[in-house]
Structures are given as structure tokens and as C-alpha cells.
Structure 1
Amino acid sequence: MITAVDHILLAAPPGSEDVLRGFYVDVLGMTEIPKPPALAACGGCWFQSGGAQLHLGIEQDFRPPKKAHPGLRVTAIEAYAQRLKALGAPVTWDDNLPGHQRFYSRDPVGNRLEFLEPSL
């Protein structure tokens, strides 16, 4: 029986770790968490906020997916969107999910990210 999602893995091109750290820590407000030594040798980086973990793994022939994305629950979504915009991240609002406010953004290497909050 599945009880929770442990993490989501997104791909990234070789050598992108520093720009990813800048985005996931400084823009999204996540915390970088250490990778186990055996996995650290492969490159990439891991981030966490609350119970959500995003792992960024290095892929030699990286191409950002056009549609695939994690859906990340947030609080105070309008303020969060303003934070992202103020820090240079794209914000595209979408009202097609009943009962939710949501927007999409992209990380510096092109990964699509969905942010959503249930409507009151």
C-alpha cells in the first residue's frame, strides 16, 4: 500500500548544480539536504521544504519535459507568486483546476513546476 510520496526526481544538465541551488534555495525558499556519499558522486542536488523533497539528478542528454511536472502545495499562494516574480522566475496563472488557485513556473534549466493552494 502506498502511503506517501517520498520525493520527486527532476533531471538537469551536467554542471547546473550552482544555478539550481540559487533557484531552489534563494527563490523557492527550500533547504538543500545532503546526498548520501555514494550518490553525491553522481552530481545533482536535493532540496526539501516541509515534507516535500525534490531531487535534481544529472542527465547527460537533458531536455526539459514540456508537460511533466511536480505539483507543489503552498500557502499564501499570491504572496508566493509575487516572491517568485520579484526574484525573476516566470509565473503563469491557470484557473482550470476547480477549487484551487494555481500557477506554473520553470526552474533555470527549464523544468516545469506547478504551485497550488486549495481555495477557501
Structure 2
Amino acid sequence: MLTAVDHVQLAAPPGCEELLRGYYVHVLGMTEVPKPPALAARGGCWFRAGSVRLHLGIEPDFRPAKKAHPGLRVTDIEAYAARLEHRGTPVTWDTGLPGHRRFYCQDPVGNRLEFLEPVTAL
């Protein structure tokens, strides 16, 4: 039986680790998690915020997916969107998911990210 998602892996081009660190730590507010030495040699970076874990692995012929993405829950979605925009990441709001506020953006290598917050009934 499945019990949880342990992590989501996204791809990234070779040599972009510093760019990823700047974005995932300073823009999204995540913490970098050291990779085990045997995996660190492959490049890439791992990040965490609470129970959310994102792994970015190096792919030599990287092309960002146009549709695939992680859906990341946030609190105070308006403030979180403002944080991203203030740090240079444009967001695109979407009203297509009933019961949620959500927006999309792209990381610096073109990975699509979705941020959403359930709407509480009044």
C-alpha cells in the first residue's frame, strides 16, 4: 500500500547547480539537503521545506517538460505569489481547479511549478 510521496524529481541541465540553489533557497525559501556522497558525484541538488522534498537531477540532454510539474501546497498564496514576483519570478494565475487558488511559474531552467491553496468556505 502507498503511504506518501517521498520526493519529486525534476531534471536540470549540466552545470546549473548554483542557479538552482539561488532559486530554490532564496526565492522559494527551501533548504538545501546534502546528497549522499555516492549520489553527489552525479551533480544536481536536493531541497526541502517541511515535508516537501524536491530533487533536481542532471540530465545531459535536458529539455523542460511542458505539462508535467509538482503541485506544491502553500499558505497565504497571495503573499507567496508576491514573494516570487518581488524576486523576479513571474506567476500566472489559473482559476481552473474548483475549491483552490493556484498559480504557475517556472524555475530558472524552465521546469513548471504549480502552487495551490485550498479555498476555505465562509
TM range (shorter): over 0.9
Give RMSD over aligned pairs: 0.3
Moved over 3 A (4+): none
> Which sections of structure 2, spanning at least 5 residues, go unmatched?
none
Paired amino acid for 1:98: P
> Secondary structure at 1:93's aligned position in 2?
strand
The superposition leaves residues 84-120 of structure 1 with CA deviations (integer Å, 9 ceiling, x where unpaired) of 0000012000000000000001000000000000001
**What percentage of residue pairs aligned between the two structures are identical?**
75
Instruction: Determine the structure 1 residue equivalent to 2:27.
Output: 27
The separation in 2 between residues aligned to 1:90 and 1:112, in whole angstroms, is 12
The separation in 1 between residues aligned to 2:61 and 2:37, in whole angstroms, is 24
The separation in 2 between residues aligned to 1:34 and 1:75, in whole angstroms, is 26
**TM-score, normalised relative to structure 1:** 0.99
> Secondary structure at 1:38's aligned position in 2?
helix
The separation in 1 between residues aligned to 2:113 and 2:45, in whole angstroms, is 17
**TM-score, normalised relative to structure 2:** 0.98
Offset, 1:5: 0.2
Offset, 1:75: 0.4
